[in-house]
Each structure stands twice: as structure tokens, then as C-alpha cells.
Amino acid sequence: MANVVLRDVRKTYAGGFEAIKGIDFEVGDGQFCVLVGPSGCGKSTLLRMVAGLETITSGDIDIGGRIVNQVEPADRDIAMVFQNYALYPHMSVYNNMAYGLRNRRMPEPEIDTRVQEAARILELGTMLDRKPKQLSGGQRQRVAMGRAIVRQPKVFLFDEPLSNLDAKLRIAMRVEIRKLQRRLKTTSIYVTHDQLEAMTLADILVVMNSGRVEQIGNPLDIYQKPATTFVASFIGAPPMNLMPLRADEIRAQFAGDSRAGSEAGILGIRPEDFVISSETIAGGIALDLTVEAIERVGAETFIYGTRQHEIQGVAANPGDLPPGEVIVRIPGAVAPAIGERIKAVAPRENLHLFSADGRKRIDL
């Protein structure tokens, strides 16, 4: 049991490329921390630095009160689950799990107890004699988990462990990993690019972008109050609608609210916060949209619309959407027809406002 603390951790490669640009956060004892971000944001590198597989250029990594910057991976008391599982192909499932314990000269009877216990928890009991080649993807994943839990380490590290599984299995394993972690109460750091995995697994969510932390916090807080437009469009699917507004538009929209300021900014509205209605809401926003496309996924429907009255002087959306496009998410399968004109309204409390560069949230 241990906490993990990162203090101003940096990584610069020999060529001068700065992969990690000063990261601070703390994972409390028994907490599940998820590092999430687009590919190339440095999340895997950071995890490998915690594991000891990558060197640290500057800063400190502290595991359980001990600075481990110079400590070999084997001596950090961590276990890691790799994306490709990294099972030893020539060893049976049993030996895969026992290998780390044998290297530490644990007596055979105790190894056997631990491996059998892990096999029971992970339902691998009947597969102990098989080679990894004879297992399915999900079973291999469980063996990799087993190899980590038999060690009873201070910290589990997961490097995108579910990305090689098919969608259905991924959801099942996600739930299993969370249950297992709750049960073992082992501090965990989990890397993923999947925001849904991040939201569902994390006690603490660390959103990363190009070597920096964008926001740290409880997943729901991050969802409800994204600190930057990057976080706003990365967390949540489909992404938040972002619309740049000129200073006069801001003043008109947020009349009487001094916190909104009098400078240009970016307005954000989540697709699920819209309601299709002919009534406008006082203080809220109303957008006249022409329906361009409809996606029905059963329980809900996504409407892709373009704004009819283009807000003057707006060049482009800062988010992932094409300029002028707005996504509206409504429950059920009843949707307007393509080409139809609709009015999407959202109440005042569901509006997000960011500074014009998208780096700062303006709390209303």
C-alpha cells in the first residue's frame, strides 16, 4: 500500500524533444488514477517513467515515501500490465505468474498458494498448464493481470491494457479491473486514450495534452467543469460544441453578469444539454439549426445541424467540429427530418465559457 507522488517530472530526449514538460500530481493510497489524452501526449512515457523503464530528466517520483528516480524497475515494488500483455510465450500460465515470485526466491509452497489464489479470482483455474498461444485475448489479459496481482505490489501500472480487445470484451474487462482494484485496494495508475474508460475507472483523472497536464480531478468534476477547451472537447462523446464569440456577443449573451467579462471568448455547450423546443429559455441560448445528418443509436439520437444565422465574424470552431456545425443529442429515436429547421435551446447553467485562447475557464 502506498501513495505515488510526482513532483515537476520532466523528460527530454537526446534529440532535444521534450516529451514531458513538468508534471505534478499525487495518487493517494488505494486510489485509481487514470492518465488520459490523445496519442503522443506523453501519458505512456510518464507511466514508463513511474515503472522505471524510462529515465527521468528532472523532478522526483516518489512511491510510498521513497524517491525512486534511480531505483531499478524490479526494486520499485510495482507491477505492470502491458498493452500487448507481454506474456512469456514459452512458459505455461502458471509459470508466467510464478516467474516474478521465483526471481524473488519465494518458497515454492507460497508461490503455489498465491498463483492458485490469483487463478481462482481471475477464473484461470483450468488454464494453468496452457501456453499463452492457446488462450483467447481476454484470457491472456487476465493472465497479465494475474502476473501483476500475485506479486502483491504497492502499485499497479496499466498501459492501455484493453485496447487490443474487441468492444464487448473491453467493457467486461473494464468492469472486472475496477472490481478487482476495489477489492485489492492497490494504488493504480492506468493509461488510456479512451475517455469512456477514463471516466468509468478513475478516482482521479489526469487529462494530458502534449506533455502537460490539462486538468486533474474527479472525473465528474472534470466533465462538469472542464478547465480548458481541450478538456471540454476530449472528455465526453460526442464532444462539447465550442463556438467563438466576439466581445459584443458575450456581453449580449451574458448581460448583467460581470464575471463573463467584456472580451471575446469561446462558448461551450454539451450536445446532451440541448433541448429541441420552440420556446426560448430566459438567460439561456437558442440556436436555429438546419438538420444536416441524423445518427440513431437506439436509446438516443445525434442530430448534426448547421447554424442558420451565422454569428458574425466567426472564423472557425476551435473544437473538433467543422465551422458552424452543432451536435445535439436527444433521447429516444424520434428525430426531425434532414433539412428541417429546428431550434435547439440550452439553459444558462449548462453554458461553459472559456477565454479566447481556450486555456482558461471562466466560471459563471
Partner 1 sequence: MEKSAVFNNSKLLPYALLAPQLIITFVFFYWPASQAVLQSFKREDAFGLVSEFVGLENYQALFAQPEYYKSMLTTLVFSTLVAALSLSIALLFATQADKNLKAAPVYKTFMIWPYAVAPAVAGVLWFFIFHPSLGTLARPLRGMGLDWNPLLNGNHAMTLVVMSAVWKQIAYNFLFFLAGLQSIPKSVIEAGAIDGAGPMRRFWTIIFPLLSPTTFFLLVVNIVYVFFDTFGIIDAVTGGGPAGATTTMVYKVYADGRLGGDLGGSAAQSVVLMVIVIALTAIQFKYVERKVQY
| Residue 204 and residue 33 in contact, taking contact as beta carbons nearer than 8 Å | yes
Closest of 31, 23, 22 to residue 4, by C-alpha? 31
Minimum CB distance to partner 1, residue 202 (Å): 23
In the complex with partner 1, which residue's Cβ is closer, 110 or 288? 110
- Written as nine digits, the cell of 43 is 501519458
Give the β-pairing of 58-63 and 155-159. unpaired
- Give the H or E element holding residue 312: none
Minimum CB distance to partner 1, residue 43 (Å): 16
* CA pair distance 255, 251, nearest whole angstrom: 5
Measure the CA angle with vertex 51, ends 151 and 220; round to 5°: 95
Q: What residues contact residue 137 under an 8 Å CB cut-off, 6+ apart?
A: 164, 165, 166, 169
In the complex with partner 1, which residue's Cβ is closer, 104 or 359? 104
Under DSSP, the state recorded for 5 is E
* CA pair distance 25, 293, nearest whole angstrom: 42
In the complex with partner 1, which residue's Cβ is closer, 133 or 309? 133
Minimum CB distance to partner 1, residue 106 (Å): 10
In the complex with partner 1, which residue's Cβ is closer, 83 or 290? 83
In sequence order, the β-bridge partners of residue 206 are 35, 216
| Residue 353 and residue 361 in contact, taking contact as beta carbons nearer than 8 Å | yes
Minimum CB distance to partner 1, residue 165 (Å): 16
In the complex with partner 1, which residue's Cβ is closer, 151 or 174? 151
| CA distances (Å), origin 162, targets 125, 175, 303 | 22, 11, 30
Minimum CB distance to partner 1, residue 83 (Å): 8
Minimum CB distance to partner 1, residue 64 (Å): 16
* CA pair distance 83, 92, nearest whole angstrom: 20
- Footprint of partner 1 (CB under 8 A): 51-53, 72-74, 78-80, 82-84, 86-90, 99-100, 103-104, 131, 133, 147, 151
Under DSSP, the state recorded for 23 is E
In the complex with partner 1, which residue's Cβ is closer, 151 or 193? 151
In the complex with partner 1, which residue's Cβ is closer, 31 or 96? 96
Minimum CB distance to partner 1, residue 156 (Å): 11
